[in-house]
Amino acid sequence: MQKLTLPIAVLLVTPIISQQSYRIVDNDIVEGRGFRISQLKTIDWDDFANKPLRKPQVTLHVSKHHFPAGSAARKEIDKAVTMFNNTSGSTVRITVAGTDHKSKADLFDNNTSRNYFSYLDNTASGSFPCHNDGSTACSDDDDKGIDGWVMNACKYNRTYGWNSLGRKADHFVISVNTHCKDHASDITASDYPKADNIAHELAHAFGMGHADSWDSHQDFLSTMQGNMPTLSSFDKYYLRDIYPEETNTKKVELVVPNAIRVEYNNDIGYKNFYFNDDEGTSRKANPKELYLKDRYFWDCETNRSPVFWASYFNSGNKKIQSDKEVWSEIRLGKGTSKVNSSGNVVLSSQYHKGLEKGAQITWSQGVKVPQRSLSDLPFNRTLKLYFMVDTKNTFSEKSEDNNSINADLILRNTKADCSV
Ligand SMILES: [Zn+2]
């Protein structure tokens, strides 16, 4: 397990509110308070690459019927493609083109020269080389031996054909199960494939495997775990290593993702929590409601001081030198103003002197919140909890959207007013 804690590089700043360590509500969480810095230095990326593409400059042919240019469904594809094309230091480039809808037989032609993104009716004639022919189930049923699928990335080698031997792949098809999406037959339906799922399948196409095959690197966030609206440091470093740019453009890129990777007890291993929702977990990572008692605010769910969680990356390929400070702050405000504005109360702030390229930070802190610190904020109204990160000495990243994230939080007068 790679688990580094580097308290020497970290200083905590306490403006009005004092911080204390408390046990978190979920006793299965192994991770302690403070920072965990995960570095990418020791990874052998070739171990992760499963039939990467021979040429990382690809044209992705999408159905004009289902995904017309400018439609909401097409924008999800474009968003996923942009995540890959914005990886500085890598030659990965995806160009999207419209095409007529292709049949199952067309998609998996034995002499293909194209990459497709398409709906697939697996009951049609022809063969589906990467999944059981005819299988239409959207989810697994182990008792019945059903292997479900919603989206699939299937790769082709110019010598050995579909889903077969060969160290590299030449083409791929990303297909979406028509039986799982109303959008397949009704282009006004809103259940079209979303950007995070499309990015996951594109990552398969570029040779990434699921996290369970990563051995000792389970602490890293990745699109391969799903529900990530951005590529992680881990994902970008994979692309940079397997598809390197010769004149390597160096860039700092501080990003706050929605996901937080937390170590659980040995039976479960690592698990993703989310800053701003409950997706995939029994609860979200941050408190939803706080109540007032004895002149302090307490978490409605735990009856303890609130514990906040967040993560961030330097997903760029340039180190932030130690003469620059990387600041992160958690704030609470009315949500009517920008995260950096003076209307928001700083609950906790901390900084690193410098940050390695590719570093992933996981941060958590119990914060003792006195009543007087939040005296300007109303009760029983949805407030915004913000987490933001920036480089203090340059503020070059200040205006970027991906440097902050927010979640809803409500203050209650008493424990009896809590709804969670
Ligand atoms: Zn997958």
Residue 308 CA to ligand 1 centre (angstroms):
30
Identify the burial level of 319 via C-beta atoms within 10 angstroms of its C-beta, where 0-12 means exposed, 13-18 middle and 19 or more buried. middle
The Å distance, Cα 337 to ligand 1 centre, comes to 38
CA 221 / ligand 1 centre spacing (Å):
14
Q: Is 313 in the same domain as 200?
A: no
Q: What is the Å distance from ligand 1's center to 294 Cα?
A: 49
Each residue's pLDDT, cut to its tens digit, for the chain (420 residues) gives 333 333 333 444 434 454 443 334 444 454 455 788 898 887 888 888 999 999 999 999 999 999 999 999 999 999 999 999 999 899 999 999 999 999 999 999 998 899 999 999 999 998 999 998 888 999 988 888 888 999 999 999 999 999 988 789 999 999 999 999 999 999 999 999 999 999 999 999 999 998 888 888 889 999 998 888 899 999 999 999 999 998 777 888 899 999 999 887 666 788 888 898 766 555 568 999 999 999 999 999 889 889 899 999 999 999 999 888 888 889 999 876 565 556 789 898 888 888 999 999 999 888 889 999 999 899 999 999 999 898 875 545 555 678 889 999 999 999 999 998
Q: Do the domain assignments include residue 1?
A: no
The CA 419 to ligand 1 mean position distance, Å, reads 37
Distance CA 329, CA 14 (A): 11
Ligand 1 geometric centre to CA of 202 (Å): 9
Measured in Å, residue 66 CA sits from the centre of ligand 1 at 22
Same domain, 196 and 343: no
Compute the distance from residue 167 Cα to the ligand 1 centre, in Å. 19
**Does 200 share its domain with 272?**
no
Residue 326 Cα to ligand 1 midpoint, Å, equals: 33
> Cα(152)–Cα(128) distance, rounded to whole angstroms?
10
On whether both 125 and 183 belong to a single domain, the answer is yes
CB 163 within 8 A of CB 129: yes
Ligand 1 centroid distance, CA of 199 (Å): 10
**CA 358 to CA 242: how far, in whole Å?**
15
> Does residue 127 form part of some domain?
yes
State residue 25's pLDDT score. Answer: 41
Looking at the structure, tell me whether residues 286 and 359 fall in a common domain: yes
Selection from 125, 143, 135, 412 nearest residue 297 by Cα: 412
Question: What's the CATH number where 170 sits?
Answer: 3.40.390
pLDDT of residue 419: 92
215 falls within a domain? no
Q: How far is the CA of 353 from the centre of ligand 1 (A)?
A: 37
Whole-number Å distance, alpha carbon 10 to ligand 1 midpoint, is: 36
Listing DSSP states for 344-394 in one string gives SEEEEEEEEEEE-TT-EEEEEEEB-EEGGGGTTSPSSSEEEEEEEEEETTT
Distance 397 CA to ligand 1 centre (A): 32
Kindly state the tokens that stand for 40: 């990418």
Q: Are residues 81 and 153 in the same domain?
A: yes
Residue 235 lies in a domain: no
Give the Å distance between the CA of 249 and the centre of ligand 1: 30
Q: Are residues 191 and 64 in the same domain?
A: yes
**Residue 290: inside a domain:** yes
Q: From CA 409, how far away is CA 333, in angstroms rounded?
A: 9
CA of 194 to the centre of ligand 1 (A): 14
Quote the CA–CA distance of 370 and 392 in Å, as a whole number.
Answer: 27
Task: Examine the fold and report which residue of 179, 207, 235 is the final residue of a domain before the chain moves on.
Answer: 207
- Centre of ligand 1 to C-alpha 320, Å, is 33
d(CA 328, CA 390): 7
Q: What is the domain extent for residue 142?
A: 50-207
What's the rounded Cα separation, in Å, for the pair 345 and 320?
27
Tell me, in angstroms, the distance from the centre of ligand 1 to residue 241's CA.
Answer: 21
201 C-alpha to ligand 1 centroid (Å) = 6
- Rounded Cα distance between 207 and 204, Å, is 5
Cα of 377 vs centre of ligand 1, distance in Å, is 43
Q: CATH number for the domain including 299?
A: 2.60.40.10
71 and 31 in one domain? Answer: no
Of 140, 175, 207, the last residue of a domain is 207
Say how many domains are in the chain.
2
Tell me, yes or no, whether 140 and 280 share the same domain. Answer: no
Among 172, 207, 242, the domain boundary falls at 207
Give distance in angstroms: CA of 11 to centre of ligand 1: 39
Query: pTM here?
Result: 0.88
Handedness of CA 278, 280, 282, 283 (dihedral sign): negative
In this structure, are 58 and 177 located in the same domain? yes
Is 269 domain-assigned?
A: yes
Angle at which helices 195-205 and 72-85 pack, to 10 degrees?
Answer: 50
Q: What is the DSSP string of 143-202?
A: TTTB---SEEEEEEETTTEETSS-SSBSEEEEEEEGGG-GGGT-TT-S-PPPHHHHHHHH
- Domain check: are 29 and 58 in the same one? no
Query: Exposed, middle or buried by CB within 10 Å (0-12, 13-18, 19+), for 378?
Result: exposed
- Write the CB contacts of 20 (distance below 8 Å, at least 6 apart in sequence): 305, 366, 367, 368
CA of 205 to the centre of ligand 1 (A): 10
- Asked whether residue 238 is assigned to any structural domain, the reply reads no
Q: Find the 137 Cα to ligand 1 centroid distance in Å.
A: 16
Residue 271: inside a domain = yes
List all residues 6 or more positions away from 329 whose beta carbon is below 8 Å from its beta carbon: 346, 348, 349, 350, 386, 387, 388, 389
CB atoms within 10 A of CB 247: 5
Looking at the fold, whether 39 and 63 belong to one and the same domain comes out as no
